């Protein structure tokens, strides 16, 4: 799972989980969004706007804000390379007008895009630049959420000890300034670290504690994300009844709040859980919902993931002809997205399947 660096109301995500390891969601992998300080789906213009005296400054601000909005749309459509180009242009303009807050927001999106194309060094640099800005401006709330983003990144890179220490630092700041939202996020991410180390029972307790804080603040998006994390832990421990209950609650919460990222993730978890217990009809129903949602969002990358999931499920049932059809459709989308790495992986899966026929 790739899945997510986050807004305060958004958790970092995990997706597919085996008994031996917890993989980060793609991506959500990551799901960090644009702002470490804005709550909910606030328009980016409202997040960035500050009065400027000169008309030149206002023009640069408007242009930079527009570039950042475009970058967000490009990322949502799966075009990470274009997102990076837009963010770099926006950063240059924000630097010229001296807007540190806007630079911090832009570095968050930039890191998210770098993660999607597996540019780890550039992603970490963007995250740490965002953290430096938060420290320079003494923005404790921003520090909490950027530290969580860095912790999630380190977890993805396999540095569990460093990830845990970073998230613990975030939790300490959140506790010190009585930031309940930050405490919920940090506890949930400590659950991710603990699950990655294989202690699912302890992770479950951390997630349940995190849910208390999330619900205190009415953080529905964070609640759905933590419920998904909880489902992951139950799935990894083989407790399918609680797995389905957790993912089901996450899906309902996300759907009510039009939180499409967590809704998709919950569906993915439910597909795995129902498949594991042989409920293939329910799994196919869920995949149909997933594909319809991806098309509604006009998100080609999520359509690709839906096709791949269909292919894997048909392959598991021995229906290789239909599985091949879905693999080929996924490959076409990978080419459309100019994602050569994904294309190679899909071709490899298809080739191995055909060789086993």
Per-residue model confidence as pLDDT tens digits over 203-226: 999 999 999 999 999 989 999 999
Query: Are 132 and 184 part of one and the same domain?
Result: no
Query: Are 219 and 165 part of one and the same domain?
Result: yes
Q: What is the pLDDT of residue 28?
A: 34
Q: What is the pLDDT of residue 23?
A: 36
Burial 42-56 (b: 16+ CB within 10 A, else e): eebeebbeeeeeeee
* pLDDT score of 263 more than 90: yes
The per-residue pLDDT for range 167-195, each reduced to its tens digit, is 999 999 999 999 999 999 999 999 999 99
Instruction: Please state, in angstroms and rounded to a whole number, the distance separating the CA atoms of residues 176 and 97.
Output: 33
Confidence of residue 165 (pLDDT cuts 50, 70, 90): very high
Among 88, 107, 138, give the residue marking a domain's end: 138
* pLDDT score of 7 more than 80: no
**Residue 17 backbone dihedrals phi, psi, to 5 degrees:** -135, 135
Q: What is the pLDDT of residue 357?
A: 66
In a 3-state reduction of DSSP, which class is residue 104?
Answer: helix
Query: Are 133 and 123 part of one and the same domain?
Result: yes
The distance from CA 103 to its chain's CA centroid, rounded to whole angstroms, is 21
Q: What is the pLDDT of residue 54?
A: 54
Q: What is the pLDDT of residue 168?
A: 96
Q: What is the pLDDT of residue 76?
A: 81
Number of domains in the chain: 3
User: In this structure, how many other beta carbons lie within 10 angstroms of the beta carbon of residue 155?
Assistant: 24
Instruction: Provide the whole-model pTM.
Output: 0.72
Residue 302 forms part of a structural domain: no
Residue 333 forms part of a structural domain: yes
Residue 25 forms part of a structural domain: no
Residue 40 forms part of a structural domain: no
Average pLDDT of the chain, as a whole number:
85
22 forms beta bridges with: 17
Among 96, 118, 138, give the residue marking a domain's end: 138
Residue 125 is part of a domain; what is its CATH number? 1.25.40.10
The per-residue pLDDT for range 315-329, each reduced to its tens digit, is 999 999 999 999 999
Query: Are 347 and 331 part of one and the same domain?
Result: yes
Q: What is the pLDDT of residue 116?
A: 85
Residue 26 forms part of a structural domain: no
Would you give the DSSP letter of residue 51?
A: -
* pLDDT score of 305 more than 60: yes
Query: Are 221 and 205 part of one and the same domain?
Result: yes
The per-residue pLDDT for range 38-65, each reduced to its tens digit, is 333 333 334 444 444 556 567 888 999 9
User: In this structure, how many other beta carbons lie within 10 angstroms of the beta carbon of residue 238?
Assistant: 10
Query: Are 206 and 230 part of one and the same domain?
Result: yes
The distance from CA 76 to its chain's CA centroid, rounded to whole angstroms, is 11
Residue 225 forms part of a structural domain: yes
Q: What is the pLDDT of residue 142?
A: 87
Residue 160 forms part of a structural domain: yes
In a 3-state reduction of DSSP, which class is residue 275?
Answer: helix
Pairwise pLDDT comparison (56 vs 351), residue with the higher score: 351
Rounded mean pLDDT, 118-146: 90
Percent of the chain exceeding pLDDT 70 equals 84
* pLDDT score of 27 more than 60: no
Residue 230 forms part of a structural domain: yes
Pairwise pLDDT comparison (17 vs 158), residue with the higher score: 158
Domain range enclosing 349: 318-356
Query: Are 165 and 190 part of one and the same domain?
Result: yes
* pLDDT score of 4 more than 90: no
Among 92, 119, 138, give the residue marking a domain's end: 138
Pairwise pLDDT comparison (162 vs 36), residue with the higher score: 162
Burial 158-174 (b: 16+ CB within 10 A, else e): eebebbbebbbbbbebb
Instruction: Please tell me the total number of residues recorded for the chain in this structure.
Output: 357
Query: Are 131 and 174 part of one and the same domain?
Result: no
* pLDDT score of 9 more than 90: no
Query: Are 77 and 117 part of one and the same domain?
Result: yes
Q: What is the pLDDT of residue 311?
A: 98
Would you give the DSSP letter of residue 48?
A: H
């Amino acid at each position: 799972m790739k899945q997510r660096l986050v807004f305060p109301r958004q958790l970092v995500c995990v997706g597919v989980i085996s008994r031996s390891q917890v993989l980060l969601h793609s991506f959500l992998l990551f799901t960090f969004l644009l702002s470490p300080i804005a709550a909910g789906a606030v328009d980016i213009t409202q997040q960035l706007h500050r009065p400027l005296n000169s008309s030149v400054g206002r023009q640069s601000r408007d242009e930079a804000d527009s570039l950042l909005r475009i970058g967000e749309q490009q990322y949502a459509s799966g075009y990470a390379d274009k997102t990076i180009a837009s963010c770099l242009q926006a950063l240059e303009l924000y630097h010229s007008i001296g807007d540190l807050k806007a630079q911090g927001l832009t570095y968050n999106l930039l890191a998210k895009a770098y993660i999607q194309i597996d540019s780890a060094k550039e992603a970490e640099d963007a995250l740490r630049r965002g953290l430096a800005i938060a420290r320079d401006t003494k923005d404790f709330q921003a520090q909490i959420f950027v530290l969580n983003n860095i912790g999630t990144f380190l977890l993805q890179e396999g540095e569990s000890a460093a990830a845990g220490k970073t998230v613990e630092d975030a939790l300490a700041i959140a506790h010190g300034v009585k930031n309940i939202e930050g405490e919920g996020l940090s506890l949930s991410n400590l659950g991710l670290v603990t699950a990655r180390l294989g202690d699912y029972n302890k992770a479950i307790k951390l997630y349940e504690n995190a849910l208390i804080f999330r619900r205190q603040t009415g953080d529905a998006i964070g609640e759905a994300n933590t419920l998904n994390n909880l489902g992951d832990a139950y799935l990894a421990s083989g407790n399918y009844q609680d797995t389905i209950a957790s993912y089901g609650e996450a899906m309902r919460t996300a759907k009510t709040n039009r939180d499409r990222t967590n809704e998709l993730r919950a569906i993915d978890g439910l597909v795995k859980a129902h498949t594991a217990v042989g409920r293939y009809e329910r799994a196919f129903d869920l995949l149909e919902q997933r594909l319809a949602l991806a098309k509604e969002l006009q998100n080609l990358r999520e359509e690709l993931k839906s096709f791949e999931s269909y292919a894997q499920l048909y392959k598991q049932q021995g229906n290789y002809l239909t599985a091949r059809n879905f693999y080929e459709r996924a490959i076409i989308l990978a080419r459309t997205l100019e994602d050569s790495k994904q294309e190679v992986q899909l071709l490899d899966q298809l080739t191995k399947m055909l060789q086993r026929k």
